[in-house]
Amino acid sequence: MIEILKFFLTTHCLLEQEELSVALRYFKLKKVEKNQLLLFKGEVCNHLHFVNKGIIRTYFVTKNSTEKTRFVAFDGSVITALSSFISQTPSLEYIEVLESGEVWSINYHDFYLLKETLPNWAIFYTKILESAYIFQSYKIEHLMTLSAKERFENVLSQNPQFLTRLPNSVFASYLDISQETLSRIKSM
């Protein structure tokens, strides 16, 4: 079970064997249930989660109380409310379990500690930031230049799981379109 996390860390962190075993000690395995909230709006996010099994998303809520999905983590990737985690200030967004499963979680304190003690961990953190930045760059570009249908096709070509493993409502909110429009796009 821990093998997947190990694999993830070795490929993303360049950790030596013994650094790796140090790091792994700080991760705790946790079962998570569908609809469970791992973070409420207003709380400070002090965990980073590696999704071992299941699906987790971050979302925020608009004035007219509709949910907008910022990021979806399928099995094998990492998720946190990054803005809050970075700045250790109250989060504007929620972390929610979409599909039951289990996560390996590390808390901010330990994460920070590793950053101070293992140089390769600091590099890992930098990599997370860099890829998060680039990810959002594309998202902005797509919101500004692509039509609803083009955004749909683009996301789908990157990761078909958005269509197959998510409820319509979540996928729509991720694309920033209404469920009705998504439904119409699919039936073309």
Partner DNA sequence: CGAGGCCTTGACCGCGGTCAATGCCCGTGG
Partner DNA sequence: CCACGGGCATTGACCGCGGTCAAGGCCTCG
**Where along the sequence are the contacts to DNA (CB under 7 A)?**
64, 66, 147-149, 167-169, 176-184, 186-187
CA-based nearest residue to 74, from 6, 151, 9, 4: 4
How many Å apart are CA 48 and CA 150, to the nearest integer?
32
| Residue 161 interface partner, choices its own copies, DNA, none, CB cut-off 5-8 Å depending on type | none
| Residue 187 interface partner, choices DNA, its own copies, none, CB cut-off 5-8 Å depending on type | DNA
Determine which residue in the list 63, 157, 164, 187 makes contact with its own copies, applying CB under 8 A: 63
| Residue 180 interface partner, choices its own copies, DNA, none, CB cut-off 5-8 Å depending on type | DNA
Shortest approach of its own copies to residue 23 CB, angstroms? 19
| Residue 25 interface partner, choices its own copies, DNA, none, CB cut-off 5-8 Å depending on type | none
Q: What are the tokens at 150?
A: 């083009």
Instruction: Find the part of the chain contacting its own copies (CB under 8 A) among 6-14, 25-33, 130-138, 153-161.
Output: 130-138
Rounded to the nearest angstrom, the gap between the alpha carbon of residue 111 and the centroid of all alpha carbons in its chain is: 17
How many Å apart are CA 188 and CA 185, to the nearest integer?
6
Determine which residue in the list 141, 154, 168, 184 makes contact with its own copies, applying CB under 8 A: 141
Inter-axis angle of helices 17-24 and 108-117, to 10 degrees?
Answer: 160
Determine which residue in the list 47, 49, 57, 70 makes contact with its own copies, applying CB under 8 A: 70
Is 2 a residue that touches its own copies (CB under 8 A)? no
Number of H helices, E strands in the chain: 9, 6
Q: What are the tokens at 108?
A: 């901010």
Would you say 185 and 149 are in contact if contact means Cβ atoms under 8 Å apart? yes
Of 91-120, binders to its own copies (CB under 8 A) are 92
